[in-house]
Amino acid sequence: MPSYKKLLFIVNPHAGVRKKESVLTDIILTFSDFYYETIVCCTREAGDASRIVREHVDDEIDRIVCMGGDGTLSEVIGACRAYEWDKPIGYIPAGSTNDFAASLKLPMEPAEAAERVMRGKPHRLDIGRFNGGYFVYTASCGLFTKASYDTPQRTKNLIGHLAYVLEGMKELTQIRSWHMRIMTEGRVYEDNYLFVSICNTFSLGGVMNLEHAQVSLSDGLFELLLISMPRDLLQLRDIIQSLREQKFESPLVQFRKVDQLTISCPDKADWSLDGEKSEGKEKTEIAVIPGAVRILY
Ligand SMILES: [Mg+2]
């Protein structure tokens, strides 16, 4: 009989786990079938997943699997990176926001996802460094950031959603924008922006209507989308049209692939990192860390 290996299972019980009584048992049995002894730790509040990783990294853990939403995964990955734990990570999506899970085409049924984690191969994926922290698939800022903290999964089409919200604006005074100076790839973009997003995902990427061939989660590049503040209603119409048609050739809607950027924003606009709020700073440094994590799928 093979000897058991150790698996740390981090569960966010707020992420709809309690609804199905037997689901945790099923998952742990699946791990056991693959000869993993499971240590179960539940999170109670933001920061707990990170603490759990820190407390267990020295325990000769062979796998870390987390169950929750994208926020939980993001925290676990950030912590593994911070505490230099570099073994494969599994993700069982169970939260309200599972963009990243959708991006990786993970099963949404927890027991199936657990099986996928067990049978899956580790894939190296890029993550982003954001000042002192990390993000896994999206850092965004501006008009829609607040909404995206709790955007339900059914709002699959972010760009469509952006266009929809902008169409509802009858006056430009309803739109807040932030002055930013963005330095990337030897270029400087300076304008008032109503939305800025840096992402590495097919799901949001798919929303931008990029063919899978155009987006890679391990090419060392993230996709940057900049939407400038319109100066009049005509320009607002241009932006909406550009978003609707998903043609990013307008000077008001720019789309680039980047591996590093520095953003100055005197008004310290807040950011959303994988859906979690991050307090704005005057200067923000973002860089892709190529192949930083290994995800099992
Ligand atoms: Mg990429």
Render pLDDT for 204-252 as a digit per residue (tens, 0 to 9): 533 455 555 578 889 999 989 899 999 998 999 999 888 878 777 788 9
The pLDDT, as a whole number, for residue 66 is 96
Residue range 5-120, CATH number: 3.40.50.10330
List the single range of 86-90, 102-106, 269-273 with lowest mean pLDDT. 102-106
Ligand 1 centre and the CA of 242: distance in Å?
23
Compute, in angstroms, the gap from residue 104 CA to the centroid of ligand 1: 13
Give the pLDDT score at 155: 41
Contact 264, 181 (CB under 8 A): yes
User: In terms of pLDDT, which residue wins out, 58 or 67?
Assistant: 67
| Cβ–Cβ < 8 Å for 67, 110 | yes
Taking the CB of residue 48, how many other CB atoms lie within 10 A of it?
16
**What does the alpha-carbon distance between residue 14 and residue 193 come to, in Å, rounded to a whole number?**
35
pLDDT at 172: 81
The model's pLDDT over 48-65, given as tens digits with 9 standing for 90+, comes to 999 999 999 888 999 999
Distance 277 CA to ligand 1 centre (A): 23
Task: Work out the mean pLDDT of the chain and round it to a whole number.
Answer: 85
Tell the CATH topology of 133-291: Tumour Suppressor Smad4 (2.60.200)
Q: Which residues surround ligand 1, an ion (CB under 5 A)?
A: 200, 216, 219, 221
For the chain, what percent of residues have pLDDT higher than 90?
Answer: 55
Question: pLDDT band at residue 101, thresholds of 50, 70 and 90?
Answer: confident
Cα 205 to ligand 1 centroid, rounded to whole Å? 10
- Every domain of the chain and the residues it spans: 5-120, 133-291
pLDDT at 171: 78
- Tell how far the Cα of 287 is from the centroid of ligand 1, in angstroms: 12
Q: Mean pLDDT throughout 95-116?
A: 84
Mean pLDDT to the nearest integer, 168-185 = 87
Q: How far is CA 188 from CA 89, 181, 182, 191, 264, in A?
A: 37, 7, 6, 10, 11
Give the pLDDT score at 138.
87
Q: What predicted TM-score, i.e. pTM, was given to this entire model?
A: 0.85
Report how far ligand 1's centroid is from the alpha carbon of 136 (Å).
Answer: 11
